[in-house]
Structure 1
């Protein structure tokens, strides 16, 4: 089975999720039944490919990463971590730096959803370091965005704001409205949280 066929057979997970303003803009399924059906379809693809005589690393990386994200979003972050660690291992074996960086960010998110913010920040820091390489600069704003949101959950508002503002500037330079809006929303959320925290202290 080719990567093109797998991608055509599965929906973009971003079209199936909504963001929870009361939970640091974390993702959750819009329709849980539909989401479970998508997970089962991706799992079926993986089982089929595991039976094929020739291994295509790109397909494996995509499916393990896809399922890792899906399990995280569906509330099974620990399982998501397992799949994403496998995707990371395979991307390194295949010497695919772009896939490694993307997977590192996704793994960080899975750790964050699992409650291990320290491991999440380590992943985001590694991703940020990798993104400074010339051939990977296009991913720098993603590393900054996810690191900022993780720091926001920890109440490290000043450091979080610095990361998000840096991500925002890169995204404005890219002129991609969807990305700009995502970062601006996170910054608004951060200001609300910081104000609420300040009021509680007073």
Structure 2
């Protein structure tokens, strides 16, 4: 996984976020998004108790007492607020998050997500994954296309435990953008130099082309 690929995903997701939305950023690639919003005013929420995250701080501005849910240093925009974790989860469970941007271990062909456990492996805890899947009004998955062992993350059927019955609205990988409609996965844009045929080879889940699919030209 290269930093360039991670940034490609973060930049593309940033394009999907709307002005004045309240957006929760999950662990991993989603935490890069604050650096690529430009002048767009989006209210970024972190489940550990911050509303109003700004760009990643550098140098003397880094304060490790001010971190995201990923334990990475963050900055605070003017007008931001701090609160305890219980209030943060009240926001999430109460339906006050417009969009959740989450990572994933797997996403199936209908948009069902697995992002909290790998069978046989020890994890630190579920965190807010299930609450965000259930509570956010919209869910965007920001993930590498393949797992570290080279297996597809976009699969016909989940082999990892599901995070909930709520389905993702969109998946953005370093190669492509997919949207889900009526439990079918549609390719809407290719972000890398891969061909549609090459994309099918590394994608276990079947997908369909939309009429105006954006294919990157070499």
Q: TM-score, normalised by structure 1?
A: 0.32
Q: TM-score, normalised by structure 2?
A: 0.30
Specify which structure has the bigger relative contact order, considering alpha-carbon pairs within 8 angstroms and separated by 6 or more residues: 2
Q: Which structure shows the higher strand fraction?
A: 2
